[in-house]
Structure 1
Amino acid sequence: MSEAPQPAATAPVQQGSGRVLPALVLAMLAFSVVQTAVVPILPSLARELHATGSSITWLMTANLLAAAVLTPLLGRFGDLRGRKPVLLLSLAGLVAGSGIAVATHSFGWLVVARVLQGAGGGVLPLAISIVRDELPPRKVTGGVALISASMGVGSGLGLVATGLLIEHWSYKSIFWMGLAFGLVALLLVALRVPSDPVVDRAGGADPLGALTLAAWLSALLVAVSQGNGWGWTSGRTLGLFAVAAVVAAAWVALELKVAHPLVDMSMMARPAVAFTNLSGLLVGFGMYGSFMVISDFAQTPAKVGYGFSATVLHAGVMLLPSALGSLVAAPVGALLIARRGPRLPLVLGALLGAVAMGYLALRHGREGDVYTASGLFGLGVGLAYAAMPAYINGAVPAEQSGIANGMNAVLRTVGGAIGTAVMGAVLTGDTIPAIGLPTLDAYRHAFWITAVGCLVAAVVPFAIRRTATAASAAPAAAGAVPAAAEPAASPEGVRTGA
């Protein structure tokens, strides 16, 4: 039985991109900088906080876990209750977490702070939905591409900023940076982003769906993030993987039955959404994994026969071309999407990532090799991330934009967690006996694994067209008009169909 139609809302007055977009981009940069800034200094933090090497990884695990759980929830609440207030709540969590991190010297409270900072993960789906609602149609594609690519830009800048700050000040300066970024972003969003014209949309919050989603994501990410320390065949690791599988199956069954699911499974099954999410997982695997491997490789003492004896700052500078490449990718990706659709930038971006990491596997003796690979990889990640929201927004109605992009962000986060875990296992599994550092072969294997992951991500988008074509065959045979296999340009500049 269909629901009664909702009253039509008055069409909003669309805002100029010069007013809204900078606030949203800064919000995205604030979260991505905060998320990755601690990665190069985890060993230093372990010494400062008197924590073990296995314990200190919780500063990353806790943040990834919170972001994975909260991102789809905040995206869904934004769809239901208005994007601006939920975006402010997301940034408030980031600010609160940064404030606690500045004030505390306790490892336990620092983990709590990193959990709160994970609320910033809601920025991506909410900002994309706001751009779709508020910007003039001709600027939607470019705005979405810029926000999505900003994740790669901020991640790279965070690594450089960490190196610069840690050379002159204590580790507290890293959290002061996050606090400053968060406060400015919160203020700009409050002042420049308009309130939603409709703040009470049809649907429900689905609390049981939210709890089961949080449960299986938590089990999965803890198992993946702690597997290296616990052992991949240990009872704890295998038990958590089993829990994740069982609860995920229960979550899918639940979402298929409830009247107003948190995540519409029919939406998630659409080829443009499902295969884009798979690409998101693979590209996230490559991005986070490459950051870790390149940083570790650069900081390896040159006396062992490879590496550059780089400081944290120097290693971060080597990754700076990645941030610049992602920045360049935003307008290039928007142009390609507008002219050719999202498949070309998604395929091209993943291919560039594969070429970059394959190049490093073959050539890594000079710093210039790292700079070249870093720039190519950042350009590839930026193109891929710019294309993903275009595919998703073209396949879902506006009222599901937040949750759909939120789930894509979750898959990127899960892919990142898997990437760092796999790279860690590869590097620790083959070490030089006398000093415990990874061998050169271990780094080569890590580079090749990342390259293969990106190559698979480049192949995945072709399945969208094949699946859509097959799905349209039956209605066509019955005399219906088949849906377009490749999304066609819409008036908003994003792509529809698929």
Structure 2
Amino acid sequence: MAVLILAEIVSAFELSMMYVTLPTLIKDFQVDANTVAWVVTAYLLVSASAGVMGGRFGDMYGRRKVMVVVLIIAGIGSLVSLLGGSLGMIILGRAIQGVAGAVMGLAFGLAREHLNEKQIPVGVSMIGASALIAGAGGALIAGLMIDVYSWHGIFAFAAVLAIIAAVSIQFVIPRDNVGASKEKPDYLGSVLLPVAVSAILLGLSSSSKTGFGSTQFIGLIGMGIAVAAVWIWWELRVESPIVNLRMFKNRQIALVMTATMLAAIGPIGGVAVPSQMIMQYPSSLGFGLGFTATAAGVFSCATAMIGYFFSPLGGKLAFRYGARAVFITGLSLMALVIPLILLTFGNVAVFVIAMGLNGIGISLTYGALPNVLIEAVPATHTSETAGTNTMVRNVGQSTATAIGAYILASYQDPATTLVAQEGISSTFIFVFIFAALSVAVALMMRRNPVQWIPETAAERDIRRGTLGRPGNKVPVHPFKAASAAIDNN
């Protein structure tokens, strides 16, 4: 468990460490919020594809083996950002680091593989909520590095952490017991997905400069939608899709994924940047708290640690009362925090309470997510489904970053690079709308869900009308096969 939590900390740390760094990068490279946001967005875009691809590879070739490779590549990405020296190279390195998005799905699969039934809810809850530990460490270490040294030290630390995690996985986790799969990986699907999302997000992030009626905006959004349509068509036809879209026929899975997307666009992905601005902006503005980068890091660390202490409790409550109740509670807490912040700008005590509650909400939500999914999927598809959920969350967070950056850039002073209070308020209102929607969707989930049963090869042949052709396998359900044959004739 300690090793799996360490691996997930690497993945989440590489995301969280950049939020504290954004104001510094804006000053050092003299860019606007839209441009520097790609330091976060590049990571999330690759992470979205890596989440599903890594989970699929893990189920096919062995989760332990795939996780070690992923962590080594993430370490290389940190070195690229460290040695590049320009914002463009930082973004490139961040994109390479994005392969760490595969870690969470692989960790859930390994936990379900090696823990007994009673240990699984608490185990996966602690792994899921370990993002808070990473958030705490990322904020603290990034703040210290910026004040004492520079942002370069953040990437050096991330590289060392990734290698330590890879070595730990290699020596502690039992060897994989799966043979090499004969299924062909869906390389085309894994390429089309980030292309579609990148085009849409690039269009959104550049709209503050070009306008919504510009040729660039319409072209990028149109291309993104067109590629997304091709991707959906391909995923429904390919034999081993990168995302098994047919799992969304299951009510519970569809609702969990939708609630995850809404929460990622809202509080999970939309709170970090404006809250860092509130903490690091001067108190003379009326809404800033005047924290240094280190103080902001210590504060974020403390509130996140408070939240993480609730992760074992969330797992036990999920085992006793069901993961659905814990999931709804976590989402509701994150939603209630937003109006509390909006109504008390400049009040340090209330802000501390609000961010502490937000940390608890994130911990319960992250801890409940894998348990909600485990209730609805078979053990053989744990990493695949968890990876898909990671993809959904990362796409949502990418969207939140792009739209949030657009809103903030609209209220940014070109001379001082500071964002006005109206911009901060508008961003939080946007976050609250999606937080409320995520709670509404979660309430529609069932307490006792029906488990998703993946389609077999024989059933796929029946559906496609290819049963009986040379090379096809004998059907598992002969009555269904006979019925299909009668229908076809």
TM-score by length of 2: 0.85
Question: Secondary structure in 1 aligned to 2:430?
Answer: helix
Comparing 315-324 with 72-81, which one deviates more in the overlay?
A: 315-324
Shift of 1:51: 6.3
Aligned twin of 1:453 = 434
Q: Percent identity?
A: 27
Offset, 1:169:
0.9
- Distance, in Å, in 2 between the alignment partners of 1:367 and 1:187 is 42
Q: Does 1:380 align with 2:361?
A: yes
Question: What is the CA-CA distance between 1:129 and the residue it aligns to?
Answer: 0.6
Aligned-pair CA distance for 1:124: 0.6
Separation in structure 2 between the aligned mates of residue 317 and residue 282 of structure 1, nearest angstrom: 29
Q: What does residue range 6-405 of structure 1 map to in structure 2 within 5 Å?
A: 21-46=1-26, 48=28, 54-201=34-181, 203-228=183-208, 230-285=210-265, 286-405=267-386
Displacement of 1:202 after TM fit?
5.9
Over 3 Å counting, the alpha-carbon distance change for 1:371 and 1:216 in structure 2 is same
Q: Please state how far the C-alpha of 1:232 moved relative to its aligned partner.
A: 4.2
* Whole-angstrom distance in 2 between the partners of 1:168 and 1:371: 25
Query: TM-score, normalization: structure 1?
Result: 0.84
Structure 1 residues 220, 399: closer, same or farther in 2, change over 3 A? farther
Q: Distance in 2 between matches of 1:307 and 1:283?
A: 26
CA spacing shift, 1:52–1:377, aligned 2, 3 Å: closer
Instruction: State the shift of 1:60 in Å.
Output: 2.1
How far is the alpha carbon of 1:187 from its aligned partner? 1.2
Deviation at residue 401 of structure 1 after TM alignment: 1.6
Deviation at 1:224, TM superposition (A): 4.1
Question: Residue 150 of structure 2 aligns to a residue in which SS?
Answer: coil
Using the TM superposition, give the Cα deviation of residue 100 of structure 1 relative to its aligned residue in structure 2, in angstroms: 2.5
Contact 1:361/1:445, CA 8 A, preserved across alignment = no
Between the aligned partners of 2:416 and 2:74, the Cα distance in structure 1 is 39
Deviation at 1:262, TM superposition (A): 2.4
Cα distance, 1:443 vs structure 2: 2.6
SS at match of 1:262: coil
Report the alpha carbon displacement of residue 92 of structure 1 after superposing the two structures with TM.
0.8
**Cα shift at 1:361:** 1.1
Q: Is the 8 A contact 1:427 1:443 kept in 2?
A: yes
Match for 1:392: what amino acid? L
Cα distance change of structure 1 residues 458 and 247 upon mapping to structure 2, 3 Å threshold: same
Q: Quote the Cα distance in structure 2 between the aligned partners of 1:381 and 1:229.
A: 33
Q: Structure 1 stretch 188-197 or stretch 281-290: which is displaced more?
A: 281-290
User: Residue by residue, what CA displacement relative to the aligned partner does 1:233-256 show, whole Å, maximum 9, x if unpaired?
Assistant: 433333222222222222222222
Deviation at 1:211, TM superposition (A): 2.8
Further displaced range: 167-176 or 314-323? 314-323
Distance in 1 separating the partners of 2:107 and 2:278: 35
In structure 2, relative to structure 1, the CA distance for the partners of 1:437 and 1:254 (3 Å cut) is same
Q: Provide closer, same or farther for how the CA distance between residues 457 and 171 of structure 1 changes in structure 2, counting only shifts above 3 A.
A: same
Structure 2 SS opposite 1:137 = coil
Counterpart of 2:397 in structure 1 is 416
- 1:465 alignment partner, SS class: coil
Moved more, 309-318 or 162-171: 309-318
Report the RMSD for the aligned CA atoms in angstroms. 2.5
Deviation track 1:134-182 (CA, whole Å, cap 9, x = no partner) reads: 1122211111111111123312321222111211112211111101211
CA contact (8 A) 1:160 1:317 kept: yes
Deviates more, 1:212-221 or 1:364-373: 212-221
- In the TM superposition, residue 37 of structure 1 has moved relative to its aligned partner by 1.3
Quick one: structure 1 residues 231 and 400, their matched pair in 2 at CA, closer, same or farther if it must change by over 3 Å? farther
Equivalence map 1:405-444=2 (5 Å): 405-430=386-411, 437-444=418-425
Of residues 137-146 and 119-128 in structure 1, the stretch that sits farther from structure 2 once superposed is 137-146
CA separation of 1:240 and 1:277: change in aligned 2, threshold 3 A: same
SS at the partner of 1:203? coil
2:247 alignment partner AA: M
Q: How far is the alpha carbon of 1:467 from its aligned partner?
A: 12
Output the amino acid matched with 1:31.
Answer: S
User: Which residue in 2 is equivalent to 1:496?
Assistant: none
Tell me, yes or no, if the aligned pair for 2:125 and 2:311 is still in contact at 8 Å: yes
| 1:423–1:177 Cα change, 3 Å | same
SS in 1 for 2:185: coil
Amino acid at match of 1:455: A
Letter in 2 for 1:123: V
3-state SS in 2 of match to 1:38: helix
**Separation in structure 2 between the aligned mates of residue 134 and residue 297 of structure 1, nearest angstrom:** 43
Aligned mates of 1:433, 1:186 — CA distance in 2: 43
Q: Which amino acid aligns with 1:380?
A: G
Q: Distance in 2 between matches of 1:203 and 1:428?
A: 46
Query: How far has the Cα of 1:47 moved from its partner?
Result: 5.1
Q: Distance in 2 between matches of 1:391 and 1:137?
A: 15
**Pair 184,304 (structure 1): closer, same or farther in 2 beyond 3 Å:** same
CA contact (8 A) 2:307 2:357 kept: no
Matches of 2:36 and 2:400, distance apart in 1: 18
**Equivalent AA in structure 1 for residue 37 of structure 2:** T
2:408 and 2:30 mapped to 1: Cα distance? 24
State the Cα deviation string for residues 302-354 of structure 1 (Å, max 9, x = none).
22222122221222233234411331231121011101111111110011001
Change (3 A) 1:419 1:299: same
8 Å CA contact 1:101, 1:109 repeated in 2: yes
Amino acid in structure 1 at the alignment position of 2:165: A
**Distance in 1 between the 2:173 and 2:449 partners?**
36
The code of the aligned residue for 1:416 comes to Q
Distance 1:189 1:148 in 2: 17
CA distance in 1, matches of 2:411, 2:86: 34
Match for 1:450: what amino acid? V
